[in-house]
């Protein structure tokens, strides 16, 4: 069965600096999707970025980018120019073919932004 591991329970970064959140996953599939979702204090999850495994190019959304290393099964999220509004829990998720295509979620990383 697939698993998703976020090894950093908590990270902190100075405002305007860059931070990288780690995510690794275990799978034997070759075609899949990976996601980063943000959960602010309001609790409502919001999609930050999505990556298709067959695409070599790393996904980018404004200040958010990923470093997708397929062979290493690593999918890290880089946040540039961190802002106070980036403070949240960040969850990595994997679309699992084995689980009838449902998402497998990591335990989350709490990101603290220091002013």
Residue 91 · residue 106 · CB < 8 Å: yes
Site string for another protein, 23-62 (x = CB under 8 A): ----------x---x----xxxxxx--x-x----------
Comparison of 19 and 93: residue with beta carbon closer to another protein: 93
Residue 85 · residue 115 · CB < 8 Å: no
Within 82-101, which residues bind another protein (CB under 8 A)? 91, 93, 95, 99-101
User: What's the distance, CA 26 to chain centroid?
Assistant: 15
Q: Which helix (H) or strand (E) holds 69?
A: strand 64-69
Q: How far apart are CA 52 and CA 33, in angstroms?
A: 5
CB of 58 to another protein, least distance (A): 16
SS3 86: helix
Q: How far apart are CA 61 and CA 15, in angstroms?
A: 19
Comparison of 56 and 115: residue with beta carbon closer to another protein: 56
CB of 29 to another protein, least distance (A): 12
Does the protein bind another protein through residue 106 (CB under 8 A)?
yes
Residues that bind another protein (CB under 8 A): 4, 9, 33, 37, 42-47, 50, 52, 91, 93, 95, 99-108
């Amino acid at each position: 069965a697939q698993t998703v591991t976020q090894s950093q329970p908590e990270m902190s970064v100075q405002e305007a600096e860059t931070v990288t959140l780690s995510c690794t996953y275990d799978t034997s599939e070759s075609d899949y999707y990976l996601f980063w979702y943000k959960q602010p204090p309001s609790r409502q999850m919001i999609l930050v970025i999505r990556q298709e495994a067959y695409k070599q190019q790393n996904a980018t959304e404004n200040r958010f980018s990923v470093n997708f290393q397929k062979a290493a099964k690593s999918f890290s999220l880089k946040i540039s120019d961190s802002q106070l509004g980036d403070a949240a829990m960040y969850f990595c998720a994997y679309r699992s073919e084995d689980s009838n295509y449902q998402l497998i979620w990591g335990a989350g990383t709490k990101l603290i932004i220091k002013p």
